[in-house]
Chain A
């Protein structure tokens, strides 16, 4: 290759993009603080009202406990509740991991053969549209190991968003880029690794965020149906048990834990999604105008 006059190519259209950094308070940008404080303020006001209504009207605790009592119960019963939380978490995460592994694997299979996709996708839909509450009793009858049965139920709920989103993503690669790969004689594996999988990433992560919450819901629903007793039981069983014993504050405490867990799962998966996409995907980038 001959040397060329580099000066001929000093593009006038080549301007660096400089993004000024925003001022930060306690490690967060100034503009993000209201987004945190506003919902927090609403929450505090609502909880205060709740406590006030309960106290003024002398509502008995077995009908509606106040938020302070619920937090006290959560601390007092932390031993049992944390054990149950741990069991529910195990089911949730195992279901999510299996859903991700199988979901990605099967969608890759789908993307490699239109026939496999055509033949199997309807069954994935059937699996999705059948309410898990309706099949859970059957699964619990057929599968001897209760934990495995719970895992299967949670997996059924969590699996579909991953499968359907990743399949859509794998098929959404830019057609011109596919042409380009073909032009350079890329193999199927090369197209998959270098083009289809990265294209599918935003879709997969969207599915993952939905599935994270769903696997918790699936685990809880299955526990309700299974209703196993003893010490090795999840949060749903604690709710059932507290209901029978009219331990309403404990019921609320367990409910609170489930909600918090769901929020934490969602936040973690959102963070993962943001970290994966922040460099290039529109969804993770602030609009520059």
Chain B
């Protein structure tokens, strides 16, 4: 058996301020459950970071708090490199992809993608051309006028991703976006997501419960444990990009998977 790779050095944070920084963040729900406890996390610009953990470990809660859907009970979530609005709040420049495609069933694919721009008051012609471009970027050129019910699960998720990137955000938050898809579609979408990440240069924070998916996609995996949700380990996956199907069958990939699995096992047992 190959020796485990040397422990990864922490991401070099001296060069630039992180995009998102969590300091001692805790979240207690109104029913008293402590969902997240003392979570510290810094996400570097242009990085691809996964939050990995068993269900109930608070990874989705963390993601939602970062998006501003719910305030932390304690601690602070900072956007050190963000611009601030007149009220002194950071302008969260982000796109969010939910576990379900979360499309408006009464609207066509392009109308769904146009929504964020429409809400921001972007003029209609520009809205339409940018939505068309975003749909083309996720491989759905020609499907502008299809209704969500006419699309397959994978295509719906592509529309959802197009909607998230149409505002050209600097951060993309993804909450188990491919969990409900079959493996073949998921692999395809994994590759397409990496390609988008490479070409659009946004930062991705990706929540998943799949070891394989997180190793395949990420530069860094933050392993979380449940009850209460907390960060257990921070593993750097220093395999080069582009990653493709050859990487999926390589020894390096399986070594990382073994290591991450082991750490996840410890996190579950903890």
Interface size class of A (residues with CB under 8 A): 35 or more
Bound CA span A198–B200, Å: 33
Instruction: Tell me, yes or no, whether B1 is within 8 Å of chain A by CB.
Output: no
Q: Is the CB of A1 within 8 A of B192?
A: no
Q: Is the CB of B139 within 8 A of A10?
A: yes
Bound CA span A177–B148, Å: 14
Bound CA span A181–B68, Å: 12
Instruction: Tell me, yes or no, whether B140 is within 8 Å of chain A by CB.
Output: yes
Instruction: Tell me, yes or no, whether B67 is within 8 Å of chain A by CB.
Output: yes
Bound CA span A13–B168, Å: 25
Bound CA span A8–B68, Å: 33
Q: Is the CB of B118 within 8 A of A180?
A: no
A42-50, A184-192, A204-212, A252-260 - the one binding chain B: A184-192
Given that A4-B199, A198-B104 are contacting pairs, would A181 and B185 also be in contact in the complex, using a CB cutoff of 8 Å? no
Q: Report chain A residues within 8 Å CB of B185.
A: 12-13
Instruction: Tell me, yes or no, whether A36 is within 8 Å of chain B by CB.
Output: no
Instruction: Tell me, yes or no, whether B115 is within 8 Å of chain A by CB.
Output: yes
Instruction: Tell me, yes or no, whether A2 is within 8 Å of chain B by CB.
Output: yes
Enumerate A27-64 residues with CB–CB distance to B below 8 Å. Answer: none
Q: Which residue of B102, B147, B184 contacts A176 across the interface (Cβ within 8 Å)?
A: B102
Given that A9-B139, A177-B102 are contacting pairs, would A185 and B119 also be in contact in the complex, using a CB cutoff of 8 Å? yes
Enumerate A164-210 residues with CB–CB distance to B below 8 Å. Answer: 174, 176-177, 179-186, 190, 194-195, 198, 201
Bound CA span A190–B121, Å: 11
Q: A1-B200, A8-B195, A195-B104 are in contact. List 16 more A-B contacts (CB 8 A).
A: A1-B168, A2-B199, A2-B200, A3-B199, A6-B141, A9-B192, A11-B192, A13-B154, A13-B155, A14-B139, A14-B143, A14-B155, A180-B98, A180-B102, A194-B118, A279-B106
